[in-house]
Amino acid sequence: MIGLISATAAGAAARDRLAAAWPDRTRVYDGPVREAVRAAFAECERLVCFLATGAVVRLVAPLLGEKASDPGVVCVDEGGRFAVSLVGGHGGGANELAVAVGEVLGAEPVVTTATDAVGLPGLDTLGLPVEGDVAGVSRALLDGEPVALEA
């Protein structure tokens, strides 16, 4: 389920467009934003927050636990121009969600995950169990260094 949270009339309008496009995949969280984010974070696999990224950072920071289990979080700006993958780009599905939100709303997806930015697959997206120094291996790949992976 994708939790949808907004704080303004413009955000609610964009939220409602997304909810209408994905009626079986989304749930709208109303009420005070802090409580809505907290509830959606606990109940959903992904969140789309129609709020400034700074506000969402402050709201989700105390809720973050493990990269592997936290929901992916996407922020859509007040003007509906950008869908920003904020947290859980690969594991939480935020990168793909930012692209999908962008397609529905006509927003530009913003994905800053280093491997995505240069067209490399992230190790955690290959469908294999990954353990060890994932960040170090990713850094080596990004720097053009040879790596050896064993299955």
- CATH number of the structural domain spanning residue 12: 3.40.50.11220
Residues 106 and 121 in one domain: no
Q: For the chain, give percent helix, strand, coil, nearest 5.
A: 40, 20, 40
Number of domains observed in the structure of the chain? 2
| Rounded Cα distance, 94 and 99, in Å | 9
Residues 28 and 101 in one domain: yes
Residues 38 and 65 in one domain: yes
How is residue 66 annotated by DSSP? Answer: -
- Domain extent for 137: 116-151
Compute the radius of gyration of the chain from its Cα atoms. 16
Q: What is the reported pLDDT for 89? A: 82
Q: What is the reported pLDDT for 148? A: 73
Residues of the chain with pLDDT under 50: none
Q: What is the reported pLDDT for 47? A: 98
Residues 135 and 92 in one domain: no
Q: What is the reported pLDDT for 119? A: 67
Residues 90 and 131 in one domain: no
Residues 78 and 17 in one domain: yes
Residues 61 and 8 in one domain: yes
Residues 78 and 132 in one domain: no
- In this predicted model, what pLDDT tens digit does every residue of 18-47 receive, in sequence order? 999 999 999 999 999 999 999 999 999 999
Q: What is the reported pLDDT for 114? A: 64
Q: What is the reported pLDDT for 53? A: 95
Residues 100 and 134 in one domain: no
Polymer length of the chain: 151
| Non-local CB neighbours of 132 within 8 Å, separated by 6+ positions | none
Q: Which residues of 67-85 are buried (b: 16+ CB within 10 A; e: fewer)?
A: eeebbbbbbbbeebebbbb
Q: Are 73 and 56 in contact (CB under 8 A)?
A: yes
